[in-house]
Amino acid sequence: MEPLLLFPDPPPPEVAQAIDRGGYPWKGVGSTQTAQGSEPIDGWAGAVVCADVDAEGAFALCRALRKRDVPLEPLLLVVRPEQLADLELREDLFDDVCLVPLRAGELDARIKHLFWRTGRGTRPELVEYGALVLNLETYQAALGGRPLDLTYMEYELLKFLATHPGKVFTRETLLSRVWGYEYYGGARTVDVHVRRLRAKLGEEQAHLIQTVRSVGYRFGQTRWGD
């Protein structure tokens, strides 16, 4: 795991101890310049900036970390209660705040939640497989940025397949899972929908849906098959 950036250097003992207890690697940084120089190859996992002593330096660092091409996230600010008022016009500089003196477990819980947020939190519900992206909220599909114009059943079928990559489904299974349990109709219907999906995926990506002879269909690559 990439390390957390901690300001200042050395950081307050209680903060460093709390982060150590959470098991996160970290590296102290004393100024904006050293932050650039000592940045890991894979970047920082996040930052914990203590503004309790050198408030000006802390805010300057936050600003610098945010103005980069890839703004650093998440950024947790540690301040004294009296400094809360100073945050009013600096909302864009941080993602969460923690007050000193720290309370047991609070810093750890906040870091956990921040990681969860930036990892999976507010993002729209997506189903992704390679260049294929299905947006479940907007009922839209795209392949390498190019939007796919799918009908309802095509979308549902592709969604089901893409959420179970590599697995083979019989036509009957697909009919019951995608069309509905009570569905009673010809199994060849699946074939036709697969054909149209392949056509819309384009010759390039048509192989994403593979035929497993005498069994059914499979979505996605197999590591040792093709």
Partner DNA sequence: CGTCCTGTGAACGGAAGGTGAACGCCCCTT
Partner DNA sequence: AAGGGGCGTTCACCTTCCGTTCACAGGACG
Interacting residue ranges for a second copy, rule: CB under 8 A: 81, 84-85, 87-88, 91-92, 94-97, 99, 103-106, 108-110, 112-113, 116-117, 121, 124, 133, 135, 137-140, 142, 145, 147, 151-152, 166-168, 212-215, 218, 222-224
Cβ-based nearer residue to a second copy, 7 or 217: 217
Cβ-based nearer residue to a second copy, 16 or 99: 99
Find the Cα–Cα–Cα–Cα dihedral 154, 156, 161, 163, rounded to 10°: 140
Minimum CB distance to DNA, residue 35 (Å)? 24
Among 53, 84, 109, 215, binds DNA (CB under 7 A): 215
φ/ψ bin of 193: left (φ > 0), alpha (ψ from -120 to 50), beta (otherwise): alpha
Which spans in the chain are helix H? 13-22, 32-37, 55-66, 106-116, 152-162, 171-174, 188-205
* Contact (CB, 8 A) for 12 and 100: yes
Cβ-based nearer residue to DNA, 113 or 159: 159
Contact letters for DNA, residues 121-160 (x by CB under 7 A): ------------------------------xxxx------
DSSP 3-state percent helix, strand, coil across the chain (nearest 5): 45, 20, 35
- 188: contact with DNA by CB under 7 A: yes
Q: Which does 91 bind (CB under 5 to 8 A by kind): DNA, a second copy, none?
A: a second copy
Minimum CB distance to a second copy, residue 66 (Å)? 12
Three-class SS of residue 143?
strand
How do beta strands 75-79 and 46-50 pair?
parallel
Minimum CB distance to DNA, residue 140 (Å)? 13
Minimum CB distance to DNA, residue 98 (Å)? 41
The verdict on whether omega for the bond into residue 13 sits within 30 degrees of 0, i.e. cis, is: no
- 214: contact with DNA by CB under 7 A: yes
* Contact (CB, 8 A) for 196 and 157: no
Among 94, 134, 193, 219, binds DNA (CB under 7 A): 193
- In the structure encoding, which two tokens stand for residue 34, read together? 């050293």
- 176: contact with DNA by CB under 7 A: no
DSSP character for 119? I
**In the complex, which residues of this chain contact DNA (CB under 7 A)?**
151-154, 179, 183, 185-186, 188-189, 191-195, 198, 211-216
